[in-house]
Structure 1
């Protein structure tokens, strides 16, 4: 599956992952105001934020492809991203920012979602995803994955939302 990427002038990056089984649309609302949405620097440029947004949208698209029922559409509005760790410039001896992971710098994502079957909305809400134990649990994503700590949090949220409403809306 190859997500369709399109930039909108209002600062939204909308990614529609259309699979044979399901649809997910991920909107990134006002990404210039996100807490921490860059892989390699404390002060993110538009390009830095776009990388993170692309990777999050791809991951959500893969989750939808695997487990969202074919007749459902999930729309996700990402309202804030705070990646695991902090940039601590005093550690940067090479002139590059260094992201330091500590037990108090957990990943956070604020989002709203709408789950539909056809034109009927049968679930919606807002969630603030936080994984305070991100350094203490077994992580199955490789160390080279730049969203290694955010993906398990998104996986758990997705399973909870889709699983809770799996049979909703069916008559």
Structure 2
């Protein structure tokens, strides 16, 4: 009886671990594009090359989650709502540095707290191409976007959203780039 119970507990634990899904943005099971086949396509290379991971003081925490997919989904959704019907936009995310940084603190017992300071603004490097319904190129090129004053105003997202400053950076770029 005890052996069966132990076997069931082990099996359930393994099943729970297997079903939790990817926990790192560098996980090869995560998509590298969103919106394929739609009017707005956002793609990116391996996030291990992004500044967010390469220069982080805590790479383990910086790579946790699926924040690249979440930001790409958000970007795809915002652009799709902004561009005229029939237009097509292709975006390639070349680099991301999220707002804030994991700072090392002496005598601290945790290293998973993201500290927000003016010296850690959100930044992105994007390559994009906007084509209108007739096939004419409206705009294209590389954009390096940053919100250097990201702590000066409150973003229109809940404080519980860890990507609120990064999403506001996307909102600002979409508003400027795809004005009607």
TM-score normalized by structure 2? 0.71
**Structure with greater helix percent:** 2
Compared CA separation, residues 18 and 60, structure 1 to 2 (3 A): farther
Distance 1:74 1:131 in 2: 23
SS for the counterpart of 2:178 is helix
**Which of 67, 70, 74 is 1:52 aligned to?**
67
Query: Shift of the alpha carbon at 1:66?
Result: 2.0
- Equivalent residues, number: 151
Number of the residue aligned with 2:51: 35
Compared CA separation, residues 137 and 95, structure 1 to 2 (3 A): closer
Number of the residue aligned with 2:35: 16
**Which of 117, 136, 155 is 2:132 aligned to?**
117
TM-score normalized by structure 1? 0.75
Partners of 1:106 and 1:134 within 8 A in 2 = yes
Compared CA separation, residues 91 and 156, structure 1 to 2 (3 A): farther
Number of the residue aligned with 1:153: 169
Number of the residue aligned with 1:102: 117
- Structure 1 unpaired stretches of 5+: 1-8, 167-171
Partners of 2:102 and 2:111 within 8 A in 1 = no
Query: Shift of the alpha carbon at 1:64?
Result: 2.5
Compared CA separation, residues 45 and 141, structure 1 to 2 (3 A): closer
Per-residue CA deviations over 1:120-171 (Å, capped at 9, x if unaligned) read: 32210111111110001132111111211111111111111111xx4xxxxx
Per-residue CA deviations over 1:21-75 (Å, capped at 9, x if unaligned) read: xx211111242111115xxx82158973x71111111111221232221111111
Number of the residue aligned with 1:139: 155
Number of the residue aligned with 2:100: 85
- Structure 2 unpaired stretches of 5+: 1-27
Number of the residue aligned with 2:143: 127
Structure number with greater Rg is 2
